[in-house]
Amino acid sequence: MIDIRPQVQPTAEGTGAQSQTDVGPGPVETGPSASGVSRPSTVRPTKALREVAVAQQRAGVVKESLQKKAFDAIIDGSNVAYYGGTNPTLRNVALVARRFSELGLSWVVIVDASLKYKLPQAELPSEFVMTLIGENAILTERETLERAIRKRERVHEAPAKRAADEFILEYARKWNAVVISNDKFEEYVKRFPDVLERRVTFMILEGEVAFSPDPLEVLSELRGTSAAEQVSTGSDQQGKDGSVHSAS
């Protein structure tokens, strides 16, 4: 006769093997799923990796906003702000920028991320606020810089832990522009050997700004054009108050 009773599977007892039901679950990240398909491990980014990602994102924002325009001069905002003392002020930056507008040249300011924390809480004269953000407002120096950075028109901030010098020199080369700074950029000479040809130093005395050498002459040599052509081009891009109209 044929035995039709259900067959009983042998257990691991007495065989030396471990029963499957006795095996505890392995790590969720690397162990097999219930279907037998391996699941990828879950890796949580460290604080350092997150900071790098944020810095790269901010650098991309700065570059994207700067690529929309071209300027005759890039003002080293942090260097200019510290001119004449140990305490920075946006008055210096506004004076230099305004002087470029008077010359008929377009300009943009790039600052280090730390500058806004070191500015005084004193009110900035409205004429300087107008130069930097194009608004007739009553603001402190720090408020002015923060608003200017948010607008991303006349003032741009380098990402935290990234020197503004890198962006200044990179875009000076891209636009064939002059750099306004008393910094010698010694650590960047190898990477940007033309920096000394572009650099224009400045001096501020009783509210008057003087440049050396003449930025119009430097631009003429860099671009192979006359000083009159430089003024015409700059005027098309940026108005006397610093507002940007168009870019080539």
Q: Give residue 5's pLDDT.
A: 54
**Tokens 């009159």 sit on residue:** 228
Kind plus residue range of the DSSP H or E element containing 170: helix 164-175
At 46 the pLDDT is 67
Q: What is the mean pLDDT of the chain?
A: 78
CA dist 225 and 119 (Å) reads 39
pLDDT at res. 224: 87
pLDDT tens digit sequence for 14-64: 444 444 444 444 444 455 555 555 555 555 566 555 555 544 555 444 445
The pTM score is 0.68
Model confidence pLDDT, tens digit, residues 119-158: 999 999 999 999 999 999 999 999 999 999 999 999 999 9
| pLDDT top residue among 246 and 213 | 213
Determine contact, residues 237/244, Cβ cutoff 8 Å: yes
Average pLDDT over residues 176-181: 97
**Tokens coding 104:** 């008929």
Measure Cα distances from 24 to 16, 112, 128, 129 in Å: 18, 55, 71, 68
